[in-house]
Structure 1
Amino acid sequence: MNFLLTASGLRNETERDALRDMVGRPFGSANVVYVPTASVAEPGDHGWLLADMNRLHGLGWRQFDVLELNGLPRRTVLDRLLNADVIYVGGGNHYHLARSITGNGLADGFLEALESRVYVGFSAGSMIFSRHLTGHSADVIGDTADLHVLGTATVEPPFGLFDWYLKPHLYSPDFPERDDAWADRIVAKADFPIYFLDDETAVRVRDGEVDVISEGRWRFHS
């Protein structure tokens, strides 16, 4: 399995080069599917979503598909994933995304598709693979409000592949509270490893090997 887990999409050439290497052929000869499901649970202006879609589309894919995980038959969703060479899952509410995967019985099929495809995550799309994506981690991170807007206080990790947790947007002007003091407060409560990524950074996982690629700044708490 190959993952490029970005904080804020493919914003720099280092991340784009990493994806080219993982795909192994020109983007013009590959299919990508964009999953915007997490964004649906976010209120307000969605210009950030359109900017991310346009940035990805601009790479010049053979086919650019858009797939919502809710409302379609399970087999249809999985067939669309299998038709892609790159599965790109966008940002928004990671708890809504996780619940959409588990609630629609997609986890096993998703993992099957990822055996021979490249996965790219943007923010929420990068957060759903930790086994620590639970109500406890919501309390540690301080984002239980994102669960409460869904009318629940619990969430199941849909995959549980990684022992570490990923938290994006460190030092981001869009999230001015996410500074070192914010990260330090989380670390003081955390009983699991955490990658804190700024918007120019990604965690790359290739065949179980984990590294960080960045044109910015990041922190790791073990």
Structure 2
Amino acid sequence: MKLLLTSAGIKNPSIQRALVDLMGKPIAEATALCIPTGSYGSPYGSPAGAWRFVSGQEPNCPMTGLGWKSMGLLELTALPSMAQERWVPWVREADVLLVNGGDALYLNHWMRESGLADLLPSLTETVWAGLSAGSMVMTPRIGSDFVGWKAPSGDDRALGIVDFAIFPHVDHPMLPENTMAAAEKWAAEIAGPAYAIDDETAIQVVDGVVDIVSEGHWKLFGA
């Protein structure tokens, strides 16, 4: 799977070019599925927020409203009640999965419960475009600062698809606690490679090779 791990979606031309390069086709020719699940696990989530993500009415986090050839909705909490032979083809046929933010551990739980996590290794040409928690879910752990919803395991482990952690929304004006100094303290707890990224930055991962795509600022800790 090809990963484009963003803090706030396809925020600038550099991130959009990276997305198009990963898909190998223009957005207008690409099929997408959006996954809103993570938003329901967050205390800041709401039905209105989920609708804005799905409908492309969230200008601060551009994802679904970019002019896709087709757009579908994949709700992970519904998948355990369905036969895999019904929904797996939907995922395999998509060029990109657009994954909303919210609570990373809640998203991690439903990715495992739904079976999507087990499917990921076989999706070699599919692009995973994550937004905030939709990016953090790919990491080994998220750190105690970001634990909201309590996982059955009781810890902060996520999928571990990549070997680094992510601190999103650095220096966001509406998140005064998300400073680079706070990210440094968070990274000390992670005790492994960890990126702090602002909303103008994304982390691209293809075949284990990491590239930073940024029109803003970021920092790597514990390299």
- TM-score, reference length from structure 1: 0.86
Counterpart mapping for 1:102-141 below 5 A = 102-113=112-123, 115-130=124-139, 132-133=140-141, 137-139=142-144
CA contact (8 A) 2:169 2:178 kept: yes
Gaps of 5+ in 1: none
| Secondary structure class of the residue paired with 2:171 | coil
CA contact (8 A) 1:202 1:214 kept: yes
CA contact (8 A) 1:36 1:68 kept: yes
What letter matches 2:143 in structure 1? A
For residues 84-128 of structure 1, give each alpha carbon's deviation from its aligned partner in whole angstroms, at most 9, with x where no partner exists. Answer: 111111100000000001123332213222x12111111111112
Gaps of 5+ in 2: 57-61
Question: Post-superposition shift, 1:64?
Answer: 0.5
Question: Post-superposition shift, 1:155?
Answer: 5.4
| Aligned equivalent of 1:157 | 158
Answer yes or no: is 1:61 the counterpart of 2:68: yes
CA contact (8 A) 2:172 2:178 kept: yes
| Aligned equivalent of 1:205 | 205
| Length, aligned pairs only | 212
C-alpha distance in 1, partners of 2:34/2:154? Answer: 28
What letter matches 1:65 in structure 2? G
Answer yes or no: is 1:143 the counterpart of 2:153: no
CA contact (8 A) 1:74 1:105 kept: no
Identity across the alignment (%): 32
- TM-score, reference length from structure 2: 0.85
Query: Deviating runs (4+, > 4 A) in structure 1?
Result: 44-53
RMSD (Å), alpha carbons:
2.1
| Secondary structure class of the residue paired with 1:189 | helix
